[in-house]
Amino acid sequence: MKSNNKKLVLNASKDFIFSVLALVIYNGVLQLLIYPRLETYVGADAFGTVLYLISAVSIMGAGFGTAGSYSRMVAKKDRTEANGDYNLFLLIITLISIPVTIGSLIAIHSLDLIQFIWVFVLMAITVARYYSDVEYRMNIKFLDYFLFFTSVSLGYILGLRLYRYTGNWVITILTGEVFGIIYTVVRGRIFRAPFTEISSSFKENMKSLFFISASNLLGALILHSDRILLRLAVGSREVTIYYTASLVGKIVAMLTTPLNGVIISYLTNYKIELNKKRFGIIAAAFLVLTVIGAICCTGVSYLFVQIMYPDVFEETVPYFFVANLGQILYFISGSLMVIIMSFSAEKLQLLINAVYAVAFCIVVIPMTYTLGLPGIAYGLVIVNLVRFGFTMILGMKKLNKIQKEAVSTDN
* Domain spans in the chain, listed from the N-terminal domain onward: 1-223, 235-404
Contacts with 166 (C-beta within 8 Å, 6 or more apart), sequence order: none
The pLDDT assigned to 407 comes to 65
| pLDDT score for 24 | 84
Residue pLDDT tens, the chain, 411 long: 555 566 666 766 777 788 778 888 998 899 889 999 999 999 988 999 999 999 999 999 999 999 999 889 888 777 888 999 999 999 999 999 999 999 999 999 999 999 999 999 999 999 999 999 999 988 878 889 999 999 999 999 999 999 999 999 999 999 999 999 999 999 999 998 889 989 998 999 999 898 889 888 887 887 788 889 999 899 889 999 999 999 998 887 766 666 666 666 666 565 556 678 878 888 898 899 899 999 999 999 999 999 999 989 999 999 999 999 998 998 888 888 877 776 666 677 778 888 888 999 999 999 999 999 999 999 999 999 999 999 899 888 888 887 777 666 665
Asked whether the beta carbons of 39 and 163 are under 8 A apart, the reply is: no
Cα–Cα distances (Å) from 159 to 44, 80, 111, 245, in that order, read 20, 39, 24, 26
Q: What is the pTM of this model?
A: 0.80
Q: What beta strand segments (E) does 147-220 contain?
A: none
Phi, psi of 108 (to 5 degrees): -115, 15
Per-residue pLDDT at 269: 60
SS3 state of residue 340: helix
